[in-house]
Amino acid sequence: MSVRSEILADIEAVLKGIPDIGDVFVGKYEQVDLDALKFPAIFIFQGDDQEAIETMGTETFTWRVVVEAWCKDAEAETVFAALHMELSRDYTRSGNALNCRRTGSDVLSLDPGRGLIALQQTYEILYRHPYGQP
């Protein structure tokens, strides 16, 4: 498994461990049936990465990962805080990252008729692996 896969698996496990969280998906980009979801539902999306430091024998990247939570408007702040708190407990993502920090957030309207919103938290993850061995 690649370092990035290990980091995503760690994020997924952490989020599944939060009490009262419903479905958790990694990289689910297809259409979702709102009626079939268990809320709050969490989606973990991979963003771009950029080389951070050039070193001999290793490759180091800064990678953006977006955690998106779909929830009732009334639960928004509780869900937002739980995501941030749990993902901040281990900035090494179980030893697979040099750093992991939240760098931004956004709130989107998902389905106003049902009172559903989407909360996004963007994380910047610094990770390293041996050269050519992701």
| CATH value at residue 74 | 3.30.70.1700
Q: Using one digit for the tens of pLDDT, what is the confidence trace for 7-37?
A: 999 999 999 999 999 999 998 777 888 899 9
Instruction: Give me the number of domains the chain comprises.
Output: 1
AA identity, residue 1: M
- Whole-model pTM: value is 0.94
Q: Residue 98 pLDDT > 90, yes or no?
A: yes
Residues 6+ apart with CB under 8 A from 105: 80, 119, 120, 121, 122
Its domain, for residue 15, covers: 3-130
What percent of the chain has a predicted confidence (pLDDT) above 90?
86
CA–CA–CA angle 9, 14, 16 (5° rounding): 95
Q: What is the mean pLDDT of the chain?
A: 95
Reference 125, options 48, 18, 13, 72; nearest CA is: 48
